[in-house]
Chains A and B, each alone.
Chain A
Amino acid sequence: MQKGLDFLLSKYSVEDKASFSIDGKTVNIADKTYPVLPYESERRFIEMRNLVLNGRLGNMCTYRIGHTFKKGSDIFEMLKREIGILEFTINSIVKEIFAIASGNAMNCIVETENGCVCTIELGATLENGQKDVDKHEIITDNGVACDRVVDTQNPQESIYVYGKKELTFTDTDAELYGYSEMEINTIRNAFAIAKSKDLRKANVEKAAHIEKVVTAAKVSLETLENVKVEG
């Protein structure tokens, strides 16, 4: 990923250098460490956010999020990602959360400051080699926006190969061709914060807030209470 980031920094003449941590979750810029929020540079979420910000959609009603992912993964890490996506796409932060869990699954209802009531359904059940299944659907009083096409259950791909082996591909970025979607989004977000001091600050604040939401979710799991997120 560092090679991809260096390529963008050089191509677009960005003055500040940036280097990823080993796990790619943070980036070091001018001797400070900043969290990387890949979903904020994921095009599908940018488009959904734009639909909200430019007023094409109406006032928030509900938001349905589902994500099924690899067995054994940290379900709270996935909750962090989905809370981040929710807050980014509707431009409002979570103020309270109720969470309930069993085995490999966890469900939550959260409410954001702009009144949106969101369900988050998580399942850590997939075997190695199986691709994540996720869906994000914003429901407003003037329409629905979704990252999955109507009448489908699985994420669609750009290319399906039916040959000796069945293969699928989804390539989304010509400048970073060859990187996985998560790598592309990670590089793009690191590039964005290398370019903008405001974004660096925002990423730190957002990550800290998301931690508080997850802490509240853990309290809710213990208490079966709807928990307000610390301000």
Chain B
Amino acid sequence: MKRLKIAMMSMTHGHTRKYYDVLKNNPKLDWIAVSTANEEVKKVFLNAVQGIPCYDSDEAMLDAHPEIEAVVLASENSEHLRQVRLCAERKINVLSMKVPTFDMEEYAEMERLIKESGITFQIELELHYNPVVMRTKELVKNKVLGEIDAFNATNITLSPVWAFPWQGVPEKSYGKRVPIKEGHEKFRGGALCDHPHIFDLIREVTGSEFDVIFAKVAPNMRHEIEEEDMLAVVGRMKNGVIFSLDPSWSRAENKLKVPGPGWEVFPKRMEVNLVIHGKDGSMFTDCFGPNTYHNGEVKNQYVVQYTYFDEWVGLIDEFVENIDKKRMPKINIGWHKNTIKAMNAVYESISTGKAVKL
């Protein structure tokens, strides 16, 4: 069996460590190398993984390993366009983190590069490979609830800014420094930028696109960061389904530099819960539960021990197959554009105080 020669870039993204096991264990992959963006992430990587060559720049890695066929862009959002250029020039396939860019001109440039180079460009939205989400989609498709009236969802987590500092820098997360609204001390680039999943999932589950979005920013629970951490979003899809989406960093954390035991203050670090109302009933979904639970953590606080977490297995399987069969990824640059537009509309609505019609 031919194995796909794969590499990772930057290693600054919060999802970086999720790839370690799958890149090592998936028999369809040959993990060639990584490039690290700074000394800090290099140290973290070398402590966690042995035997994979590590370079100080993307170019050095690609020059040393012309055999690389695919790359995981595990980088801050502000690096994505530059890295896509590098890969497109060399015809290297790309698995991008969840936000290619919020700048729609940059987005169009990425679309052009991908089209002209013919590379496979897949966007990492791991919820699609979660078995609870699979079941939810199946139940909705089979009309267990009849026609859908409302799709409400949380995608709430602790804030990763202490472990992944770029997420606290508006220029690196959102792409530029834009006040969240006039006279407000916070900037775009916080919790919303971290949580595209529910803006994507609603489009697939409802089979429709965003029509109207209204959003408000709430007072931050973390006063020391520069970006928004709490917000609320409501609106309607073009097919009439209304929604309420919560993409906040509303779970408190300890300020760890490297995620590990004791990161969370609130017992559950991350939650994606869906409430779907239909003509014939309602469905309540916890995409990351049930789990196991314990208080053997630092300071003996009670915490959730996440028990079912293998989204990256399916995600990588699909990526490899898409390259092998020259198939368009489900979450491709074209599909994802309306998700990014909706997230931008959230910021616009917060800024103007008005509903945004898409």
Contacts and interface: CB of A to CB of B under 8 A. Distances in A.
Tell me whether A and B are bound partners.
yes
Interface of A: 11-13, 43-44, 47-48, 51, 56-58, 140, 142-150, 155-164, 167, 169-175, 177
B285 A172 contact: no
23 contacts: A13-B27, A51-B305, A56-B294, A143-B294, A143-B300, A144-B294, A145-B305, A146-B293, A147-B292, A149-B291, A155-B290, A159-B136, A159-B139, A161-B282, A162-B281, A163-B146, A169-B139, A170-B290, A171-B135, A173-B310, A174-B131, A175-B313, A177-B135
Q: Is the interface of A mostly helix, strand, loop or mixed?
A: loop
A130 B131 CA distance: 23
A109 to B, nearest CB: 23
Contacts of A175: 310, 313-314
Interface of B: 1, 27, 129-132, 134-136, 139, 144-146, 261, 278, 280-287, 289-297, 300, 302, 305, 307-308, 310-311, 313-314
Contacts of A150: 293, 302
Contacts of A164: 280-281
A145 B282 contact: no
Contact of A44 (B280, B292, B300): B292
Contacts of B302: 150
A146 B292 contact: yes
Contacts of A149: 290-291, 293
Contacts of B283: 159-163
A158 B314 contact: no
A177 B130 CA distance: 10
Contacts of B261: 56
A161 B144 contact: yes
B308 A172 contact: yes
Contact of B300 (A142, A159, A173, A177): A142
B1 A47 contact: no
Given A158-B289, A163-B281, A171-B134, A143 B295 contact: yes
Contacts of A171: 131-132, 134-135
A173 B132 CA distance: 9
Given A57-B296, A58-B296, A177-B134, A167 B314 contact: no
